[in-house]
Amino acid sequence: MSEQNDSGSVGKAAGSRGAKLWRRTWVGSSIAAALAGILYLTTLFHSEWPVLGLCALVLAVCIYEVDAMGALRGRRLAWPLSLAALVATWITHQAFSSVGGGIDLEGHRDLGFGVAWLLHAGTASVVLVTAGYALVRSASRIVQVAAALLAVLPLFAERAFGPENGPLVVFGAFLFVALRLLVFGPERRGESLAVMLLGPLLVVSMLGLVWVWYGFGHMGLVTLLALAKIGDSAGYYVGSTLGKHHPYKWISPGKTTEGTVASLVGASLTCVGAHALGWLPSETWLGALLAGAVANVAAQASDLLESWVKRKAGVKDSGTWFGPSGGMLDLVDSFFLAAPVVLLCWPFLLRL
């Protein structure tokens, strides 16, 4: 009888795993089809707006999930994150306007625009998330006044103090408010760190995908998305079947060393395949291999960062939009660090 029960339990577990894998595959295929439609619209209208609109929509859903996530619910985090998202979207639109109305969708562009945007939008996001968080969470009038001044600095610092002094002023004001936030008390210290880390990365990464598309074309963006998802799937499949070592128990108990290695190998080979198909402007397969490896390391670090934030919030998944794949935040967490790292590193690595 016990053997029958054991075999029944094994069969049920295998069936459940198979159903979960099928649902994950179906979700991934649906997202790929939606992305293909968006890229077609960019070609049809010869504009960045379809991609920018999609990234802004995904960002809005992620902000909603953060605001409603477990212990973070009721913290009014949607206000600082939305403020940063709106300003960063405006900066992105202005940057595209500066490079001209017509977008050459086939050629590869000067990625200096993307790096400049990353520095500008990144600084603004850090400042605005921190300032907004101080305004809605601090009871100190001094901190609130400093935060209000900090919130307008990204718009006026360079104009008022000159481009050589603007970043210094912004950094000094940010440092003051950041230090004040960290002494709110032990019960809020983890929350403030989570918001100050995840918030700006969330804004910059989602909108940064627009610049990955601009710099590397349709297939460059597809390559980044593919290597992130293939690496994630390889890590999940290998980790769930062969994984025995768990090096990240305090952050993500389910992750294994075997899954981590499988993810790295899968993503790197995906990038080599993209090079062979001519999807990337890579000079050699070695450059493509290194580009895939760097992007995957950043993606896995991003996943661990989101797992740490979810642990702080006391939740397993950010939402239930995609069944076993979790919420929108769970779906795009690979890009929190991967998108900025790609903008900074791929131009060099792909020319090795």
Query: How many of the other CB atoms lie within 10 Å of CB of 84?
Result: 30
pLDDT surpasses 60 at 185 = no
Residue 218 is predicted with a pLDDT of 86
Which token pair is 17? 């795993």
> What is the count of structural domains for the chain?
1
Can you list the alpha helix ranges (DSSP code H) found in the chain? Answer: 2-45, 49-67, 78-98, 112-137, 141-161, 166-181, 186-242, 257-276, 285-313, 328-332, 335-349
Residue 13, in any domain of the structure: no
**Residue 288's pLDDT band (boundaries 50, 70, 90)?**
very high
pLDDT surpasses 60 at 5 = no
**What mean pLDDT do residues 308-315 have?**
81
CB 127 within 8 A of CB 177: no
Which token pair is 83? 């403020």
Residue 101 is predicted with a pLDDT of 46
Residue type, 119: L
Can you list the alpha helix ranges (DSSP code H) found in 68-102? Answer: 78-98
Based on C-alpha coordinates, what's the Rg of the chain? 21
Residue 3 is predicted with a pLDDT of 47
Q: Positive or negative, the Cα torsion across 152, 207, 320, 237? A: negative
pLDDT surpasses 80 at 109 = no
Residue 172 is predicted with a pLDDT of 64
Residue 71, in any domain of the structure: yes
Q: Highest mean pLDDT range out of 24-28, 89-93, 313-317? A: 89-93
The vertex-246 CA angle with 245 and 249, nearest 5°, equals: 160
**Residue 114's pLDDT band (boundaries 50, 70, 90)?**
confident
What DSSP letter does each residue of 155-221 carry, written as one string?
A: HHHHHHH-TTTHHHHHHHHHHHHHHHHTTS-HHHHHHHHHHHHHHHHHHHHHHHHHHHHHHHHHHHH
**What mean pLDDT do residues 322-338 have?**
83
Contacts of residue 138, Cβ cutoff 8 Å, sequence gap at least 6: 144, 147, 180, 181, 184
Residue 69 is predicted with a pLDDT of 85
pLDDT tens-digit map of 189-246: 666 666 777 788 899 999 999 888 888 888 888 899 889 888 888 887 887 777 677 7
Can you list the alpha helix ranges (DSSP code H) found in 243-256? Answer: none
Contacts of residue 197, Cβ cutoff 8 Å, sequence gap at least 6: 305, 309
pLDDT tens-digit map of 58-79: 999 999 998 888 888 887 888 8
Residue type, 250: W
pLDDT surpasses 80 at 7 = no
d(CA 226, CA 218) in angstroms, rounded, equals 12
Residue 127 is predicted with a pLDDT of 80
Which token pair is 24? 């994950």
**Higher pLDDT among residues 15 and 31, named by residue:** 31
Residue 3, in any domain of the structure: no
In terms of Cα–Cα distance, which of 338, 313, 41 is closest to 195?
A: 313
d(CA 289, CA 272) in angstroms, rounded, equals 5
d(CA 218, CA 238) in angstroms, rounded, equals 30
Residue 331 is predicted with a pLDDT of 86
Contacts of residue 278, Cβ cutoff 8 Å, sequence gap at least 6: 219
pLDDT surpasses 70 at 159 = no
Residue 10, in any domain of the structure: no
pLDDT surpasses 80 at 251 = no
Residue 111 is predicted with a pLDDT of 61
CB 341 within 8 A of CB 298: yes
**What mean pLDDT do residues 172-197 have?**
63
Residue 2, in any domain of the structure: no
DSSP category for residue 66: H
**Residue 4's pLDDT band (boundaries 50, 70, 90)?**
very low
Residue 186, in any domain of the structure: yes
Residue 6, in any domain of the structure: no
d(CA 91, CA 117) in angstroms, rounded, equals 8
Residue 179 is predicted with a pLDDT of 61
Residue 27 is predicted with a pLDDT of 67
pLDDT surpasses 90 at 152 = no
The predicted model scores a pTM of 0.81
- Per-chain mean pLDDT for the chain: 77
Residue 295, in any domain of the structure: yes
* Residue range of the domain that includes 171: 20-349
**What mean pLDDT do residues 82-97 have?**
86
Q: What percent of the chain has pLDDT over 70?
A: 74
Residue 102 is predicted with a pLDDT of 44
Residue 312 is predicted with a pLDDT of 77
Q: Positive or negative, the Cα torsion across 5, 16, 228, 251? A: negative
pLDDT surpasses 70 at 348 = yes
Distances (CA, A) of 191 to 64, 127, 175, 188, 194: 17, 17, 17, 5, 5
**Higher pLDDT among residues 352 and 171, named by residue:** 352
Q: Which of 11-25, 112-126, 237-251 has the lowest mean pLDDT?
A: 11-25
